[in-house]
Structure 1
Amino acid sequence: MKLRKVYPIILTAVITLLIGFAFVAFLLRPQPLDIGTVDLNTVSDGEYIGFCQNKILFAVVKVDVQDHKIIAIEVLEHKPSYMEQAEQIAGKVLSGQSLEVDAISGATLTSDTVLKAIENALKK
């Protein structure tokens, strides 16, 4: 008899927790970012640090520029499970000398976050 009285309370608590988790996950989900362009002819030689926080995704990059060309991009910090994809998108920017590169398949939000960090570094 007691179980019949407790069962609705437990069910209500479980449903409330699931709705709460879903709501928090929705709020923390990274968003697509607008990536601008950078004219490398206006960027002086040097080492630039840029970062971007996209809700739970966070990227810190170091960009080295010499003779108005990007000579190196190092991803200093990113979520470990997406570090490989972050380094791939940085490599695409380096080889293309542009932020206008295709996102890594399956890691669009990671790609956007790293691209925005590179843009932020070069626009300082």
Structure 2
Amino acid sequence: MYDKKMFRVVVASLSVLIIMMASIFIIFQWQYRSINYTNIDMADVADGIYRGRVDTLLLKVEIDVEVEDHKIKNIEFVDHVTTYEEVGEHIVNKIIEENSYQIDVVTSATASTKVITSAVNKALESAVE
């Protein structure tokens, strides 16, 4: 009797956990796919420091983008919940190197790449408005 009751509790708990995890995954995928970009010409971006922020259910990033002579000079994380810090640094270094938020996705960090590049895009977008 006790074993059947415990089994039912465990199965019910696991079922709820699986449903919650699937819901989180579906919501995150929807948010991830809804990230869009505005086409920015760096020639239109004046010198300055601009802030961009993107929030999804699992990944959040707020960055300051420093522009000098129409080039991305520096990107600093103000706040972030992404993958490993080294991955974030690798992504921003690629953005600075290519002077564009339109970089190739970093292997095993697809979502982080998209969230960080979108935050950079939003920062640069605020520069040309």
Higher CA-based Rg: 1
The alpha carbon displacement at 1:38 in A equals 1.5
For normalisation by structure 1, the TM-score amounts to: 0.83
Listed as ranges, the gaps of 5+ residues in structure 2 are none
CA RMSD of aligned residues (A): 2.2
In the alignment, the residues of structure 2 paired with residue 102 and residue 12 of structure 1 have an alpha-carbon distance, to the nearest angstrom, of: 43
Return the TM-score normalized by structure 2: 0.80
Query: What pairs with 1:1-124 in structure 2 (closer than 5 Å)?
Result: 2-3=1-2, 6-7=5-6, 9-30=8-29, 31-32=32-33, 33-79=35-81, 81-124=83-126
State the distance in 2 between where 1:4 and 1:69 align. Answer: 67
1:59-111 alpha-carbon deviations (Å, 9 max, x no partner): 11111111211111112222264222111111111011112211111001000
Matched residue count: 123
Amino acid in the other structure paired with 1:76: V
Structure 1 position 5, deviation (Å): 5.3
Identity of aligned residues (%): 27
Q: List alignment gaps of at least 5 residues for structure 1.
A: none
